[in-house]
Structure 1
Amino acid sequence: MADTELYQQLDDALAAVDSDTTAAEAHGVLCGMLSGPEEPDRARWIAQVLEYAHARGDAARACLELLTELFTDTTEEMADEELRFRPLLPSEEAPIGERSAALGRWCEGYLLGLPMGGLAGSERRPREIDEVLRDFGEIARIEDDPDPDEDNEAAYAELVEYVRMGALLVQEHATASQRQPAGNPPRGNGSDGG
Structure 2
Amino acid sequence: MSSSTALPDFDSLSNLFIQIGALGSPSELHGTLCGFLTAGRRWSTDDWLKQSAQLLDIDVPESAQAKTALAQLYDVTLRQLEEGVFEFTLIVPDDDYAVAQRSQALGSWCYGFLHGYGMGGGQVDENLDEDARESIQDLSRFTQLSDMALEEQESDEADLMELLEYVRVVAIMLFTACNQQEQPVNPNRTLH
When normalised by structure 1's length, the TM-score is 0.81
Instruction: Specify whether residues 31 and 84 from structure 1 end up closer, same or farther in structure 2 by C-alpha distance, changes over 3 A only.
Output: same
Opposite residue 78 of structure 2, the aligned amino acid is: T
Residue in structure 1 matched with residue 13 of structure 2 by the alignment: 10
Pick one of 101, 126, 142 that aligns with 2:104.
Answer: 101
Do the aligned residues in 2 keep the contact of 1:18 with 1:54 (CA within 8 Å)?
Answer: no
Cα distance in 1 for residues equivalent to 2:86 and 2:36:
18
Cα distance in 2 for residues equivalent to 1:166 and 1:46:
26
Unaligned runs of 5+ residues in structure 2 are 185-189
When normalised by structure 2's length, the TM-score is 0.81
Q: Percent identity?
A: 25
Equivalent residues in 2 for 1:16-165 (5 A)? 16-51=19-54, 52-54=57-59, 58=63, 61-81=64-84, 83-142=86-145, 143-165=147-169
1:179 aligned onto 2:182: yes
Residue in structure 2 matched with residue 167 of structure 1 by the alignment: 171
Cα distance in 2 for residues equivalent to 1:2 and 1:174:
25
CA RMSD, 1 decimal: 2.6
Opposite residue 104 of structure 2, the aligned amino acid is: A
Cα distance in 1 for residues equivalent to 2:175 and 2:61:
34
Cα distance in 1 for residues equivalent to 2:40 and 2:96:
36
Cα distance in 1 for residues equivalent to 2:37 and 2:9:
19
How far did residue 24 of structure 1 move? 0.6
Instruction: Specify whether residues 40 and 173 from structure 1 end up closer, same or farther in structure 2 by C-alpha distance, changes over 3 A only.
Output: farther
Cα distance in 1 for residues equivalent to 2:143 and 2:109:
7
How far did residue 81 of structure 1 move? 4.5
Opposite residue 172 of structure 1, the aligned amino acid is: T
Instruction: Specify whether residues 180 and 127 from structure 1 end up closer, same or farther in structure 2 by C-alpha distance, changes over 3 A only.
Output: farther
